[in-house]
Structure 1
């Protein structure tokens, strides 16, 4: 599919805030957790079908997006600035906005969605001229018109200040402004609480990112677990436990188990493994922070499997549940004490010791986007039919997202050789469908 779709750039524009940032806000402090976050741009793309009742022209939609983005940048002014070490220079240099078009129809693409196509044709960072001229922009957006009238909105935002919770708050504000303020955008977004709770510190060379040995070649696949199959997985676990497992727990446990089977098939023996899960800290701290707090408020906790039997579905789910409980009770609630520095350093030390303990340990990273209303993102011409994110940075990652029927969509990266085994595993074939079509 990636060879069939080609996009043409129509225009590139720098979008500045509607109002200049006041001088006393020109220097924005990163929090300790922001400092530890990687200086990379995360991405997400929303696909919107053409509807017969919506006669709004692409050019008009594009102008609405640009004008409302300008308003949004005034409110979230660091996103219009440029990163300078432990601060953001809020100089109003602005975001970058790209318009593009393709003769292909949205149904052509969604018939068999392809990550290469998304990366090469829809992301703002796919346009090298824009990347070079954007001069370190924190926020890049691209609006693409399909031949059928459908559209795609792609965003790339710097992870130094944007986690998934922040992305959602920014999107709620931007979409409300684009719809003309019919619904009020969040009015309690707090840009300064992060640095107040977690003051920046001198921590040269340290990162909260979990390092995974680079695979020579890795690939990405999309698997969809229907609600009925998720229910079947839950019933399997219920036979062994007294608690009701979540859909994320059972799907993630199955993926971890099958991925390790693929590793064993490649190496010839079982290896210890660690699964790191990103946790939104906002509601889990004591006292909790508002969900609209801006910045990085995530931290990974680890679940390990030193023996193969620990990856049996019910065992893996139990270890996840116990690991999350221990992390919340022993770690997350104590993060607000003393600016979080001692707790963060303790987390990093413990993680380092765990990874050194087991030579050749196989590490996976997971983030769950489930229960985030990303399928509700409406700029004024309806809800998206699909949204996705592309990871071309590191292997052994798992991202879980909602499916409208209550199921789970998993975006997985693995070593190419391991993926060949993984996608043929009998349990994956039973519970998940590889890259099904998305119906408009």
Structure 2
């Protein structure tokens, strides 16, 4: 994919009203302190329309939104606080010398990264907490790139911010969209004696990113196939994740010629799982993770993998979430130790999955309609990582897989995977709406 981008302006957007003195120091929660020092990225693509001055509307509404989300205009200090001195969010504007259709007919992760406002995903001290890049195409289409420090929030926080920003642009902000600053009081920070290693250190091999799309009808077939007496109603994420896990294990075993134990770790939003539940607009990180294990069985059954995923999730909710509320330090310490052991164990294939599904990102409308496509990636993505997003009809799943270059050929020739998924299909924009073409396998 050949296209050029030119950054034509760089501004600092400050809150429309100064942050009050008593809010100038925002304490990170204990869970925030465990978050990696990277940016959480998201790209939203909008086709051309009749709205003229999109940039001014974005900047004005962003300034108003930062009054409510004042930590996003600050700077992280010493992995313990955010100095909310209204230093501002960075806003870049760029021109792209091609039509949006060139991007959408063959989405390639490496090419899309230049539409994102940060080149190095590893966040350093005193860097902006929030960066935005508005990239305007020759056809008047628009890509909005968002980068939010993972230190201040997870996927739920990012989508809460985006929904509030778009609502303010439309002049219809509600209390339900404003952030609730409760997590640092519930899980106060501690003095960290250990410096967490950069995420990039977890990469062990040269990896490749591939995109697979599962449309609604194929997911219905897959869910019927993986259902069992133990899990009669699997979710679409469970069904897709079990299939991809099975295919990844088969690729590893074909490459090595032997069966190795395997583990799948999935990140989960736990706001609704604590007692009492926390609102979805709770600002900060409130993620957990569970791990399912497969002990090196040569012929792995999909139903079995779904059961393992569900058992891992149920056990996590039953034991770990309760422990988190009783002793957060102990619970997170145990969870961190488990992940480190898995990541450093050379005798096991460890995979991780992050899902943006059901966050309703396709409802984010700034005044020129819904996005036609949404994309997320991690520049420092560790090996064997999966990223799930909704398709633009809200019913399917887009899966971005980061695997070693040696595993990819086995995956691309897996007949079971190709019977359910399309390989990087183009995204069609028409006057009657948008859909993902699934004819290209």
TM over 0.5: yes
Q: Distance in 1 between matches of 2:222 and 2:295?
A: 23
1:287 partner SS: coil
Report the CA distance shift for 1:115/1:376 in structure 2 as closer, same or farther (over 3 A). Answer: same
* Aligned with residue 77 of structure 2, among 60, 71, 84: 84
The corresponding residue for 1:267 is 256
1:71 partner SS: helix
Shift of 1:224: 0.3
Q: Distance in 1 between matches of 2:192 and 2:233?
A: 41
Shift of 1:359: 4.6
The corresponding residue for 1:30 is 28
Report the CA distance shift for 1:256/1:73 in structure 2 as closer, same or farther (over 3 A). Answer: same
The reply to whether residue 74 of structure 1 matches residue 63 of structure 2 is no
Gaps of 5+ in 2: 430-441
The corresponding residue for 2:93 is 99
Please say which of residues 243-252 and 327-336 is displaced more in the overlay. 327-336
Shift of 1:353: 5.8
Report the CA distance shift for 1:422/1:215 in structure 2 as closer, same or farther (over 3 A). Answer: farther
Between the two proteins, the alignment pairs up a number of residues equal to: 425
Shift of 1:396: 1.1
2:160 partner SS: helix
The corresponding residue for 2:439 is none
Shift of 1:206: 6.6
The corresponding residue for 1:249 is 238
* Aligned with residue 111 of structure 2, among 117, 131, 147: 117
* Aligned with residue 164 of structure 2, among 173, 185, 197: 173
Report the CA distance shift for 1:152/1:21 in structure 2 as closer, same or farther (over 3 A). Answer: same
Please say which of residues 181-190 and 66-75 is displaced more in the overlay. 181-190
* Aligned with residue 164 of structure 1, among 155, 159, 162: 155
Please say which of residues 405-414 and 144-153 is displaced more in the overlay. 405-414
The corresponding residue for 1:189 is 179
The corresponding residue for 1:148 is 139
Report the CA distance shift for 1:112/1:188 in structure 2 as closer, same or farther (over 3 A). Answer: closer
The corresponding residue for 2:432 is none
- Aligned runs of 1:220-259 on 2, under 5 Å? 220-238=209-227, 241=230, 243-259=232-248
Q: Distance in 2 between matches of 1:161 and 1:61?
A: 27
The corresponding residue for 2:18 is 20
Shift of 1:188: 5.1
Contact preservation (8 Å) 2:76, 2:127? yes
Deviations 1:144-165 (Å, cap 9, x if unpaired)?
A: 1111111110001100012011
1:400 partner SS: strand
* Aligned with residue 313 of structure 1, among 281, 292, 302: 302
Report the CA distance shift for 1:103/1:332 in structure 2 as closer, same or farther (over 3 A). Answer: same
The corresponding residue for 2:386 is 398
Q: Distance in 1 between matches of 2:401 and 2:87?
A: 36
* Aligned with residue 374 of structure 1, among 361, 376, 382: 361
2:428 partner SS: coil
Q: Distance in 1 between matches of 2:385 and 2:364?
A: 25
1:282 partner SS: coil
Report the CA distance shift for 1:387/1:94 in structure 2 as closer, same or farther (over 3 A). Answer: same
Please say which of residues 67-76 and 342-351 is displaced more in the overlay. 342-351
2:211 partner SS: strand
What TM-score, normalized to structure 2?
Answer: 0.91
Q: Distance in 1 between matches of 2:279 and 2:84?
A: 24
Contact preservation (8 Å) 1:284, 1:333? no
Report the CA distance shift for 1:210/1:143 in structure 2 as closer, same or farther (over 3 A). Answer: closer
Structure 1 stretches of 4+ with a deviation exceeding 6 A read: 208-212
Shift of 1:231: 1.2
Deviations 1:221-266 (Å, cap 9, x if unpaired)?
A: 1100111111111111235645211111010000011011111122
* Aligned with residue 42 of structure 1, among 7, 19, 40: 40
Shift of 1:427: 1.2
Contact preservation (8 Å) 1:36, 1:209? no
After superposition, the CA RMSD in angstroms is 2.4
Contact preservation (8 Å) 1:140, 1:156? yes
Report the CA distance shift for 1:253/1:91 in structure 2 as closer, same or farther (over 3 A). Answer: same
Contact preservation (8 Å) 2:23, 2:84? yes
The corresponding residue for 1:279 is 268
Gaps of 5+ in 1: none
Shift of 1:43: 0.5
What TM-score, normalized to structure 1?
Answer: 0.91
Shift of 1:275: 0.7
